[in-house]
Structure 1
Amino acid sequence: MTGYTGSTIDHLNITATDLATSRAFYDAVLPVVGVDKLLDVPAASDRPAMVGYGRDPKPFLWLVDGDTTDPNLHLAFTVDSRADVDAFYTAALAAGASSRHAPDVHPEYHPDYYGAFVTDPDGTNLEAVCHLPAASD
Structure 2
Amino acid sequence: MIDHMGVAVSDAKRSKAFYEAALKPLGMKCLTEVPAEENGSGGAAYGFGVEGGGEFWVGDNERVGEGTHVAFRAETRAQVDAFYEAAIAAGGRDHGAPGLRPHYGPAYYAAFVFDPDGINIEAVCYAAE
Same fold (TM over 0.5): yes
- Unpaired runs of 5+ residues, structure 1, are 1-7
* Aligned match of 1:18: 11
CA deviations 1:13-47 (Å, max 9, x no partner) are 11110112111101111111111101110113733
Q: Which has the larger radius of gyration?
A: 1
Counterparts of 1:5-84 in structure 2, within 5 Å, are: 8-44=1-37, 46-47=40-41, 48-84=43-79
Instruction: Give the TM-score of the pair, scaled to structure 1.
Output: 0.87
Output the CA distance in 2 between the equivalents of 1:49 and 1:58: 15
Percent identity over paired residues = 43
Q: 97, 108, 111: which one pairs with 2:92?
A: 97
Match of 1:127 among 117, 122, 129: 122
SS of residue in 2 equivalent to 1:59 = coil
Taking structure 2 as the reference length, what is the TM-score of the superposition? 0.92
| Residue correspondences, number | 127
Q: Structure 2: which 5+ residue stretches go unaligned?
A: none
Q: What's the RMSD between the two structures over aligned residues?
A: 1.3
4+ residue segments displaced more than 2 Å: 44-48
